[in-house]
Amino acid sequence: MLKGKKLGVIGVGKLGEALIAGLLKQSDLDVTDIIGSVHHEASIDRVKERLGISTTLDNRELTKDRDIILIAVKPQNMDKVVREIADQLKPNQLLISVAASVTTAFVEERLTQPIPVVRAMPNTPSVMNAGMTGLCLGTHAKSEHKEIAEAIFDCVGKTVFVDENLMDGVTALSASGPAYLYVVIESLAEAGVKLGLSREVSTLLASQTMYGASRMVLESKAHPALLKDMVTTPAGCTIDGLMELEEGKLRVTLIKAVVKAAERARELVNNQNSSK
Ligand X SMILES: NC(=O)c1ccc[n+]([C@@H]2O[C@H](COP(=O)([O-])OP(=O)(O)OC[C@H]3O[C@@H](n4cnc5c(N)ncnc54)[C@H](OP(=O)(O)O)[C@@H]3O)[C@@H](O)[C@H]2O)c1
Instruction: State yes or no: residue 228 binds ligand X (CB under 6 A).
Output: no
Least distance from ligand X to the Cβ atom of residue 45, Å: 11
Residue type, 256: K
CB 34 within 8 A of CB 59: no
155 makes contact with ligand X (CB under 6 A): no
- Applying CB under 6 A, the site for ligand X has a residue count of 27
One character per residue 26-65, x = contact with ligand X (rule: CB under 6 A): -----------xxxx--x---------------x------
The minimum distance between CB 36 and ligand X, in angstroms, equals 8
Query: E strands along 12-155, which residues?
Result: 34-37, 54-56, 68-71, 94-97, 117-121, 131-137
Q: Which is nearer to ligand X, 100 or 135 (CB)?
A: 100
Stretch in the footprint of ligand X (CB under 6 A) among 98-106, 147-155, 234-242, 248-256: 98-106
Residue among 110, 112, 118 at smallest CA distance from 77:
110
What mask of x and - would describe binding to ligand X in positions 122 to 141, judged by CB under 6 A?
Answer: xxx-----------------
Of 63-82, binders to ligand X (CB under 6 A) are: 72-75, 77, 81
Euclidean distance between CA atoms 144 and 150, whole angstroms: 10
23 contributes a contact to ligand X by CB under 6 A: no
Q: Name the CA dihedral angle for 58, 63, 273, 181, rounded to a multiple of 10 degrees.
A: -90
Given its phi and psi angles, is residue 4 left (phi above 0), alpha (psi -120 to 50 degrees) or beta?
left
